[in-house]
Amino acid sequence: MIPQIDLTRQHEALKAELAAAAARVLASCRFILGPEVAALESELARLCGVSHGIGVASGTDALVIALKAVGVRPGDEVITSAFSFVASATSVLMVDARPVFVDIDPGTYNLDPALVDKAVTPRTRAIMPVHLYGQPAAMDAITAIARARGLAVIEDAAQAVGASYGDKPAGAWGDVACLSFYPTKNLGGCGDGGMILTAREDVAGQVRRLRNHGSSRRYEHVELGYSSRLDELQAALLRVKLRRLEDWNQSRRRIAARYRELLAGVPLTLPEERLPARHVYHQFTVRTPKRDALAMALTDAGIGTTIHYPIAIPAQPMFALPDADRAFPHAARASAEVLSLPCFPELTDAEIEATSRAIRDALGRLH
């Protein structure tokens, strides 16, 4: 059995360090907004090339709070991707703004900048690019549009911590960026968590208030905020993992390179690495019109796969936009064709070979 992701291998290797970190927090009895969170905030801010990191309770909360902090108000429009995890759109609804979907570039699965430019209206307040599967969106083009039109940029970097675009890390391009520590992310906690990154002093200040009941100092509340903090236990555990993040991301890139060698010539579209992006392969996602048959054959061969994502956001029942498939054809096609293969840093070469052989065999039978 080859799982699509297996956290037990990572945790087995880190068992003693994770236990020591947890014990340190339990002994301190300091559980909310203490030294571990502050340390993780500055470590991640440094890694992502910005001056402020602010821990929050989840990646979704990070998006919601970031939208508020850059000035998105009820009725504003926010341009977001038609093909992502649903939080890329629901976060916009949560601040009573309107998500305006834009189709993806079918090569990278990220926002197509040419379509972004066409989607701007007088009501547009922000653009929210997603760095899907670990590859940053075309941040030079997207930030140029934002500058020309006076819009804020919120990077959804939930899948791309440690990635970069050109000379800047993912997270350093926008006015603000959001990370998720959901356990399966490249930097995953042992529970929920998220972080907001920004180089803007004003945004950082407001995010710090918003995550903690709108308070500027203890029991003085200057605006309506949230109860959305990262806790000390998560931060301490995440700091253990953060020390390995660059090694893990390099392993993911090696795994991707190995899949490319072994799957060369197979009738399957492999992920495109579009320079100057440095992809960190949160997922190694392939595509084929025979996706469902391939997934079934791999399941039969004992190989785990996942579909990220089987329904494009505008086609989700909660949006049920009529004509969603025709309006966002690349997102619709991706949702029918993508398949994420086993990809996690501890995946062995033998497992990559076995997976690639099984794909070759299955597609040979299917063609």
Ligand X SMILES: *Cc1c(COP(=O)(O)O)cnc(C)c1O
Residues that bind ligand X (CB under 6 A): 58-60, 84-85, 87-88, 130, 156, 158-159, 180, 182, 192, 194
Query: Which residue's CB is nearer to ligand X, number 110 or number 356?
Result: 110
- Report the alpha-carbon distance of residue 104 to residue 112 in Å, rounded: 5
Give me the least distance between CB of 103 and ligand X, in Å please: 17
Query: Which residue's CB is nearer to ligand X, number 61 or number 337?
Result: 61
Give me the least distance between CB of 59 and ligand X, in Å please: 2
Give me the least distance between CB of 156 and ligand X, in Å please: 5
Buried b / exposed e along 319-348 (16+ C-beta atoms within 10 A):
beeeebbebbebbbbbbebbbbbbbbbbbe
Query: Which residue's CB is nearer to ligand X, number 131 or number 297?
Result: 131
Residue nearest to ligand X (CB): 59
Q: Please, what is the Cα angle at 63 between 135 and 158, to 5 degrees?
A: 30
- Report the alpha-carbon distance of residue 345 to residue 131 in Å, rounded: 19
- Report the alpha-carbon distance of residue 355 to residue 358 in Å, rounded: 5
Token reading at 103:
């189709």
- Report the alpha-carbon distance of residue 181 to residue 238 in Å, rounded: 8
Classified as helix, coil or strand, 231 is strand
Hunting for tokens 């969106």 — which residue is that? 137
Give me the least distance between CB of 98 and ligand X, in Å please: 18
Phi, psi (deg, nearest 5) at residue 86: -60, -25
Give me the least distance between CB of 61 and ligand X, in Å please: 7
Query: Which residue's CB is nearer to ligand X, number 87 or number 294?
Result: 87
Query: Which residue's CB is nearer to ligand X, number 59 or number 314?
Result: 59
Give me the least distance between CB of 213 and ligand X, in Å please: 20
- Report the alpha-carbon distance of residue 7 to residue 9 in Å, rounded: 5
Query: Which residue's CB is nearer to ligand X, number 156 or number 232?
Result: 156
